[in-house]
Amino acid sequence: MISAVKNYFSEFAVLKTASKDFWLTNAIQFFDGLAYFSMITVLTLYLTTNVGFNDVDSGVWVGFFTLYITACVLAVGSICDTLGIKKSLFIGMGTLLVSRLALGVAPLFLKGDTLRYVTMGSILLMSLGTAFMSPVTSTMLRRFTTKENRSTGFNIYYLIMNLGAIFSGFAVVDGLRNWLGEVNGNMAILDFGFLMSVLCMICAWLINEHNYADPSERVTTTEVRRPLAIFAEVWKEKPFQKLVLFLLLTIGVRLVFTHQFLVMPKYYTRVMFSDYDLGFANSINPLIIVVGLILIIPIVNKYSTFKLIVVGMAISASSLIVMAVPLSWILAIPGITSVDSAYRFIIFAQIIIFAFGELLFSPRFTEYISVVAPKEKVASYMALSSLPMFIAKPINGFLSGLLVAGFSYEGIRAKIDSGNISYENSPEYMWAVYLVLAIISPVAVIAMRKVLAQTPSDTEPAVTSTDAEVC
């Protein structure tokens, strides 16, 4: 173990000459990650508790949030390639600054339909700002690293993103909700996001976007490119078409990521208790990822990307099995003596299994896409690679609201305790539906392995970054 840690951190030595712009990029990622992960953890609860949405409507609007992020990403990638890094950062962070502040203070001054409309407008504005961040940060990471230290640079990026997720959970979410209570804590978390946006704006102002770490990456053409023209060119390129096919086949498992904020918060608080430590539960996954990066990635990187993706997807999908089996099966396990202990076991077992699968499955998309993209179209490739999730997110948003309302509603714990509930009406049945959807991905990828094996992703060396699409 000690040698694995030494080997892992020894590769960071190649970053000793990295520019301040590289570290400012990671600072932006950390601050924005703190804001995003804390916000997304409580968003469905905020919409229900603070704004007055029902379960279906809150699921729909979180679905709209993720839908519009992807819709905007499809457009802003080419815009970023045209406007440049700093202008794109200021647009993205500026809209996040305004929208997060509006959500954080609106319930204090507004009520009824006015509050609902302001909330809906702020969510749409926040989706626009969020959409700018993924293609811009990926472009900056490529620009501020060389071919020799790029993999390590993306590894740092992934580590910092997960550290942000860890701190956002137990420090921000649990800290503010335990201190201020559920209602005020939810608003304080969004106000905290506003402060993080201010710090990101300061970092963006200090960045020199013309500081290319590798001079060969500099685009020398003086031709003025229109975003729609870049969009059309990328769509016609064969490597991109194969990339989209691959991403389409992985939708089932990638949607499990969205369950963490669409379904889990209400599931946790309704099968356990209303003040359940959401932040602590959500910190376990990134903590495992950080430790796993150090101990496991140096070993698994010796295997082919295709095999790792299939195995990782299968493990992530199987994490839902423990949530889908009848509760009586869990209660039969030695040492589990109550419904509370059964659900604790279910929750933590799913988190741990899913995290291990994610560790194998996720750490390659961002760098892979940024590397295979032509240097003048990096942001466009990053943005357009979100297309498959654009199709799936609204479906998942609507489905989650309906399933939560039908199988994990307020008051269901009383029925579980009384035993007056059948499997077909239980939360476990809801997870059985999600399990079937998740299993489709590894099966589909295996079925299409001959086609996918010809894509660059199977011949590129394995990398240690993650799919940067946070939704």
Residue 181 has, within 13 A of its CA and on its CB side, a CA count of 4
Give the pLDDT confidence score for residue 460 in this predicted structure: 41
Q: How far apart are CA 195 and CA 23, in angstroms?
A: 20
DSSP string for 277-337: -HHHHHHHHHHHHHHHHHHTHHHHTTS-HHHHHHHHHHHHHHTTHHHHS-HHHHHTSTT--
CA distances from 259 to 44, 350, 360, 415, 416 (A): 11, 12, 19, 24, 22
Give the pLDDT confidence score for residue 297 in this predicted structure: 63
Give the pLDDT confidence score for residue 257 in this predicted structure: 75
Q: pLDDT tens digits for the chain (471 residues)?
A: 566 566 666 666 656 777 889 999 999 999 999 999 999 989 999 999 999 999 889 888 987 887 788 777 766 766 777 788 889 899 999 999 999 999 999 999 999 999 999 999 999 999 999 988 877 887 888 888 887 777 677 778 878 888 888 899 889 999 999 999 999 999 999 999 999 999 999 999 999 988 887 777 676 554 555 555 666 776 677 767 777 777 778 788 877 777 777 788 889 989 987 777 878 888 888 888 888 877 776 666 677 667 777 888 899 899 999 999 999 999 999 999 999 999 999 999 999 999 888 887 776 655 556 556 666 666 666 666 666 666 666 667 778 888 888 999 888 999 999 888 999 999 999 999 999 988 988 888 888 877 665 544 443 433 333 333 333
Three-class SS state of 146: coil
**CB burial of residue 75 (10 Å; 0-12, 13-18, 19+):** middle
Q: Phi, psi at residue 377, to the nearest 5°?
A: -130, 25
* Cβ-proximal residues to 318 (8 Å cutoff; 6+ apart), any chain: 353, 357
What is the reported pTM?
0.73
Q: How far apart are CA 464 and CA 366, in angstroms?
A: 9
Residue 404 CB coordination number (10 Å): 24
Q: Phi, psi at residue 328, to the nearest 5°?
A: -60, -30
Give the pLDDT confidence score for residue 156 in this predicted structure: 80
CA distances from 455 to 161, 384, 459 (A): 28, 17, 7
Largest CA distance in the chain: 72
Q: Tokens representing 284?
A: 């376990």
Question: pLDDT tens digit string along 248-302?
Answer: 787 888 777 777 777 888 899 899 877 778 788 888 888 888 888 777 766 666 7
Q: How far apart are CA 187 and CA 180, in angstroms?
A: 10
Alpha helical stretches, state H, 47-169: 55-83, 85-109, 112-143, 150-167
Give the pLDDT confidence score for residue 290 in this predicted structure: 82
Q: How far apart are CA 150 and CA 156, in angstroms?
A: 10
Q: Phi, psi at residue 53, to the nearest 5°?
A: -70, 150
DSSP string for 349-377: HHHHHHHHHHHHHSTTHHHHHHHHS-TTS
Question: pLDDT tens digit string along 80-106?
Answer: 777 888 898 999 999 999 999 999 999
Give the pLDDT confidence score for residue 461 in this predicted structure: 38
**CB burial of residue 15 (10 Å; 0-12, 13-18, 19+):** middle
Give the pLDDT confidence score for residue 381 in this predicted structure: 65
Residue 108 CB coordination number (10 Å): 10
Report which of 202, 252, 239 is spatially closest to residue 89, judged by C-alpha positions. 202
- Helical packing angle, 85-109 and 182-206, nearest 10°: 160
* Cβ-proximal residues to 266 (8 Å cutoff; 6+ apart), any chain: 44, 45, 48, 55, 404, 408
> Which residue ranges form the domains of the chain, and what is each CATH number?
19-213+226-458 (1.20.1250.20)
Q: How far apart are CA 102 and CA 126, in angstroms?
A: 10
Assess contact for 248 and 142: CB atoms under 8 A: no
